[in-house]
Amino acid sequence: MSAGSSSRLSRRRPSGRKALLATLMLLVAVASAFPLVWMVLSSLKTPAESMQVPPVWIPLTPSFDAYEKVSGVVNVGRSMWNSLVIASITTAGILLTSMMAGYAFAKYHFPAKSLLFSVLIATMFLPPIVTLIPLYRLVGSIGLNASLAGIIVPNLANAFGIFLMRQFISGVPDELIDAARMDGASEFLILYKIVAPSVAPAIAALALFAFVYHWNSYLWPLTVLQGNADAYPIVISLSRLLSYNRGAVNTGLVMAGATLAVLPPLILFAVLQRFFVDSIVGSAIKG
Amino acid sequence: MIQRYRASAGIMLAPAVTLIGIFVLLPMLLTVWLSFQDWSTQTPFSSAGFIGLDNFREIFGVSSVGRDFKGALANTAIYTALSVILILPLSVAFGLMVYQRDVAGGTALRTVLFATYMVPMIAVALVWSKLYSPSEGPLNQMLGLIGVGPQPFLSSPRSALISIVFLNVWQQVGYFTVLAIAGLTQIQGSLYEAAKLDGASRFEQFRFITLPLMRRTLLFSAVIAIINAVQVFEPVALITQGGPVGSTNVLTYHIRRVGIERAQGGLGSAMAVMLMLSLIVVVCALFAFANRKNDE
């Protein structure tokens, strides 16, 4: 870990190299942030400003009119609530099922364990479109079509969560668990009182990741809801803004809508970014 | 004792295994089964009728069904290849930038890069459809500043797919940068010290230490990038609807249109099976390639 990259730097012209590197980093950061910054700035422009040539980059008279207009096109409150319900319940379910299964794979011996684990993990690499057609019919035949439950129920467990939990729970010492068993603790109590606190960072990482993923997901809700606008999550409601997406007059409106959809996941990320990085790194290299 | 824990294992596994079994594994098997059936998505599974390989003959045939499917397959292949070719080197370059000590701001750069990965694809699509806009879009205005004429971006069949690749790379590269950093932290610093004593240049250190030791990370990244790329849906569904002239009609969009909107469940399933087979072949080839390099 002793900063491999810093040691490979040539010492001949350190200041010139540093300046170049700093400039490059700044350029990458600006290029990466530009679309989002432009989105927020545009949402604050008046229609006149968004049409001006040459362009006005920074609104001189910032206005929130566009945000009000979005509420006229899309039921923002209802959609945000639906998104919150979908993302929260799905996340809670994923945490529960992943911890239970992760614990079983990390700490129990049972027949065909590695086979079962391989089969489950393989589903992690299955693009959802492959199962979309029969799943749509299946969910319809159990009466969940066009409802929030139809979006939520098929997603209450996933392989990524099981994998991540197994990786981290494997690191919990067996002695700790055995000692609790000696004391007569049930397996659920051990999971709740000993295992969960030991892997709290991984639980936080999985919770955040699941929440953002399901807040953002589009294909499955679009397919299962089939026009039931009352149940639309915010990302689907926003597609109604597309018919307003022709012509510069509505740039502000569209960008205000996009900003609204971006804010919750982005705020979560800003506050808790370390956990997101942990979960990616955990899935890539741990174990 | 053993018996007791075996029962516990069953209880702990039951929720996850049941859910994944019903909502992932069963549909996957159904997809394969349906690909050999004549079946409308609007009817129960029981109304499916076996027709052998007819669906596959049709999607590879000369009819419009075959033409559209082969077009979508080719578009997805191009889109995937371009995405991987852009994402992997960029993520390593950005990873090296973030993971160095002597210029401050690495963590800030990582934060900015990764923030884009949190943005819902619908918002990405909305924002980029405006960024790409022919007259008032900022990209063309900036090109104008350096004397380049307006580009058609999404409205020309020649550039639409590439424009969507850029949009995708912008959104995803932060995720792969974090993976690259994870790979870089695993390389022992002492290796570089030793190489430096032997007089290796920075490029040689990168070529003979960093790259070989990043092979597992790069392989993992490539697999994930491929699987993510075949899932591209929102920008196509929202901005281009597969056009102009089918140039952005990718498989996920096409399969959903055939299988759900046109309710041709058998045909759509055959297309999904071909997608799955292509993925398996590509990923296996990638692993074989990586292992061959291992033996050298």
* Mean pLDDT split into 10-residue runs, chain B, 296 residues: 75 96 97 96 92 94 92 96 96 90 82 89 88 80 80 84 94 92 86 85 84 89 95 91 88 95 95 96 91 66
> What is the predicted pLDDT for the residue at A227?
79
Q: Residues of B with CB below 8 A from A233's CB?
A: none
> What is the predicted pLDDT for the residue at A56?
72
Please report which helix (H) or strand (E) contains residue A178, including its range.
helix A174-182
Nearest CB to A223: which of B13, B30, B260?
A: B260
Of residues A203 and A285, the one with the higher pLDDT is A203
Which of A72-81, A235-244, B132-141, B147-156 tops mean pLDDT?
Answer: A72-81
Of residues B272 and A5, the one with the higher pLDDT is B272
Residues A220, A213 contacting (CB under 8 angstroms): no
Residue in B with minimal Cα distance to A103: B12
Rounded to a whole number of angstroms, the CA Rg of chain B reads 24
Percent with pLDDT over 90 in chain A: 52
SS3 for B6-54 is HHHHHHHHHHHHHHHHHHHHHHHHHHHHHCCEECCCCCCHHHCEECCCH
On the CB side of B102, CA atoms within 13 Å amount to 16
Buried b (16+ CB within 10 A) or exposed e, A250-277: bbbbbbbbbbbbbebbbebbeeebebbb
Residues A129, B252 contacting (CB under 8 angstroms): yes
CB contact under 8 Å between B111 and A273, yes or no, is yes
> What is the predicted pLDDT for the residue at B293?
64
Residues A225, A232 contacting (CB under 8 angstroms): yes
CB contact under 8 Å between A131 and B115, yes or no, is no
Residue with tokens 């063309």: B140
| Residue B37, strand partner residues | B50
Tell whether the model's pLDDT for residue A203 goes beyond 70.
yes
CB contact under 8 Å between A265 and B119, yes or no, is yes
Q: Residues of B with CB below 8 A from A8's CB?
A: 192, 195-196, 202, 205-206
Q: Residues of A with CB below 8 A from B196's CB?
A: 7-8
d(CA B293, CA B180): 20
Nearest to A117, CA basis, from B221, B11, B224, B20 = B20
How much is the ipTM here?
0.91
CB contact under 8 Å between B120 and A2, yes or no, is no
Tell whether the model's pLDDT for residue A72 goes beyond 90.
no
- Alpha carbon distances (Å) from B114 to A57, A62, A160, A277: 24, 28, 20, 9
pTM (2 decimals)? 0.90
How many contacts does A have with B, using Cβ atoms within 8 A?
A: 319
d(CA B244, CA B154): 8
Helix boundaries (H) for chain B: 2-20, 26-34, 54-59, 64-98, 106-115, 121-131, 138-145, 160-185, 189-197, 202-205, 211-213, 215-229, 234-235, 251-256, 265-295
CA distance A120 to chain B (A): 8
- Alpha carbon distances (Å) from B185 to A107, B119, B217, B283: 29, 27, 11, 26
CB contact under 8 Å between A276 and B114, yes or no, is yes
Residues A257, A70 contacting (CB under 8 angstroms): yes
Size of chain B in residues: 296
CA distance A125 to chain B (A): 7
CB contact under 8 Å between A8 and B188, yes or no, is no
> What is the predicted pLDDT for the residue at A225?
93
Of residues B46 and A61, the one with the higher pLDDT is B46
CA distance A281 to chain B (A): 6
Average pLDDT over residues A13-41: 86
Nearest CB to A258: which of B19, B123, B188?
A: B123
Residue in B with minimal Cα distance to A235: B122
* B205 Cβ contact list (under 8 Å, min separation 6): A8, B192, B195, B196
CB contact under 8 Å between A42 and B24, yes or no, is no
Nearest CB to A129: which of B119, B183, B272?
A: B272
Nearest CB to A97: which of B16, B96, B186?
A: B16
Instruction: Specify the amino acid at residue A242.
Output: L
Residues B140, B150 contacting (CB under 8 angstroms): yes
Sign of CA dihedral A134, A136, A141, A142: positive
Supply the mean pLDDT for chain A: 86
Average pLDDT over residues A108-124: 93
Note the pLDDT tens digit of each residue in A175-198: 999 999 999 889 999 999 999 999
